[in-house]
Amino acid sequence: MNNLIRFTCLLVTCLFFSSSFANEVDEKQAKEIPNNSILVFEGKVSCSLSRAVPMPFTGTFTDIRIIPGQSVEEGETIAQYTLEESRAIQLGRELLFNELDDIRRHLELEKQNIIRLERTEKELKRLTAEKLSPQYTLEALQTELRLTRAYVSILTKRFTYADNFADKALKSVRKVLGDDTIISGQIPEIVKLKSPISGMVLSLHPLLRENSLLPEGTIIAQIGTMDTMLIHSLVYERDVIHLNIGDKVTFFPDSLPKRQFPATITSISWAPAIPDPDLPSYYQIEMTIKNNKFELRPGFKGRIEYKQLTR
C-alpha cells in the first residue's frame, strides 16, 4: 500500500514538472523566432491621403473635365454646374449685407452731426465768454457732443465687426462657388468644383454626366495621392512583438505576381483591433511604399514578408 502511494506521488510530480517545462518551451517559442526566419502576413494598399469632392448646392452639370486615373493639381477646376434659380437668388440676397450698409449710413450721419456740434460749440464758447449766452447752454451742447462721439465709437466697432464678417462670408461663398470674382449683391449662376489636393482621380459618381441634375451633398469624385501609398495589415500578437518602426518589409501584390515592392513600417498599434478577450489579438500596422510608376492601386491585396535579422 505504501509503495502504491509513493508511486502515485512520484507520477504526479513528474507530470507537474513535465507540464511546466512544456509551458516554458511554448512561451519561449512564442517570444522568440529564429534569426533569419520570415514572418508572413497579409495587407491591403490605400492612399496616404484622399479627399472627397462634394456638391455644395443642387445643380445641373454643364462641364466635366476629369476621368478616373487622371492627374490633377490642387485648385484645378474639375467640373462646373449651374445653380437652381431659387438657390441662386437666395445666395444673392445673402451677399447683399444690408446690415453693413445700414451701419455705414448711420455712421456717416453721426460723423456729420459731430462736425455740426463742434461748430456750434465753438460759437457758444465765444458767446458765453462775451456774456451773450448762458453757461448751461454750452454745457448741454458739450454733453450732447460727448454722447455723440461715444455713439460714433460704438458704431465704428460694430461696423468693423460687420465688415469683417461680410468679408469672411464673401470669401467663403467665393470658395464654395469656385469663383474669386463674385462681388457683394451679385447673383451667382455657376459653381466651379475644384480639386482639394494634388493627386489622381480615383473614382467618379456613377450618375455624373453633362446635363445630369444631382442633389446637394453628392460626392462627385474622390482624389488621392498615389506617389506614396500605405499598406495596412493586422498582425497576430505573437508576431507583432518582433516588428519595430523603421523595419523593412517586402510586399508581393496578388494582382502583380511578378512584382515585389520594398516598404517601411511607419506605425504599430499598441492596442488590438478588436479588444474581445475571447478572440485572438491582432494589431494594426502601417507601412509606406513608393509608387512612382503608379503600378499599385488602392485596394490591392498582397503578401508581406518580414525577414528577422540578427540584431
On the 0-12 / 13-18 / 19+ scale of CB atoms within 10 A, 205 is middle
**pLDDT at residue 60 is higher than 50:** yes
Q: What is the DSSP letter of 233?
A: E
43-59 tens-digit pLDDT = 999 999 999 999 999 99
Residue 74: CB atoms within 10 Å: 12
**pLDDT at residue 32 is higher than 60:** no
pLDDT at residue number 30: 41
**Secondary element (H or E) of residue 71:** strand 71-72
Q: Which amino acid, 164?
A: N
On the 0-12 / 13-18 / 19+ scale of CB atoms within 10 A, 23 is exposed
Lowest mean pLDDT of 17-31, 36-50, 130-144, name the range.
17-31
All three cell numbers of 125, joined, read 464758447
Q: What are the residue ranges of helices labelled H in the chain?
A: 2-31, 85-94, 98-129, 135-177, 237-240
pLDDT at residue number 11: 42
C-alpha 218/C-alpha 205 separation (Å) is 8
pLDDT over 90 percentage in the chain: 58
227-281 tens-digit pLDDT = 999 999 999 999 999 999 999 999 999 999 989 999 999 999 999 999 888 898 9
271-299 tens-digit pLDDT = 999 988 889 899 999 999 999 999 999 99
pLDDT at residue number 309: 59
